[in-house]
Amino acid sequence: MSSELPPPVLLLIDLQQGMVSGPPEWGSRSTPSLVENVTSLLLTWRSKAWPILHVQHDDIADPTNIISATHPEAFAFHACAMPLESENRFVKHTGGAFVGTGLEEALTKYVESSGGWKEGKVVVVGMDSAQCINSTVRHGVDLGFDMVVVGDACASYELKAWKSDGKGELLSAEDTHAAAMGMLESYCKVTSLDKLMTVLGLESGE
């Protein structure tokens, strides 16, 4: 086994038109710098020729959901995360990106070919922090991958809190996002774009 860890993988989850710019009924979105930060990360990874994997959600259980192939405009990748032809794309039909997509096999093959065994970092960005990001990261950790979440390159929408009487308060998008990142901190490293670039010895967009 190589003494050096393989380059980090950038895993982009559900950065689709209908997610990044959701419909009015979803309320406001957190993380105003989401598009800028995702763009910066992609520029950095591409400049280093590091591996980039894209996940796209297709809700086949509910065709009325705009995040499905039956709604091509909303289903399409957002401009900030448009894959290049050389970058692998995985389509998922559940909350977690490891279910029935081949993502686990692709990541395992990559780290093995790079001389490691699930030792390389998998850097996760995308949406929604409280849903598919949480599902994917927790599953990835359980599979043995070293998952790192870039908190200011993920986002959430408003969420109604649960109460038994049905009168839960409406949580702001920023509060929902912050709570989601807080829950993930017990599973993995949650960091910011600037701190990640410092750890990697890079500047964003380099």
**Which CATH superfamily groups domain 9-200?**
Isochorismatase-like (3.40.50.850)
Q: Express each pLDDT in 143-169 by its tens digit.
A: 999 999 999 999 999 999 998 998 889
Pinpoint the alpha helices (H) of the chain.
17-20, 34-48, 72-75, 103-113, 134-142, 173-184, 193-200
CB contact at 8 A, 179 and 163: no
Supply 178's token pair: 């912050």
Q: What is the pLDDT along the chain (206 residues), one digit of tens a residue?
A: 344 667 899 999 999 999 999 999 999 999 999 999 999 999 999 999 999 999 999 999 998 899 999 999 999 999 999 999 999 999 999 999 999 999 999 998 887 776 665 567 899 999 999 999 999 999 999 999 999 999 999 999 999 999 899 888 999 999 999 999 999 999 999 999 999 999 888 766 55
Residue ranges covered by each domain of the chain: 9-200
CA distances from 166 to 26, 73, 96, 169, 178 (A): 18, 34, 27, 9, 23
| Predicted local confidence at residue 116, as pLDDT | 60
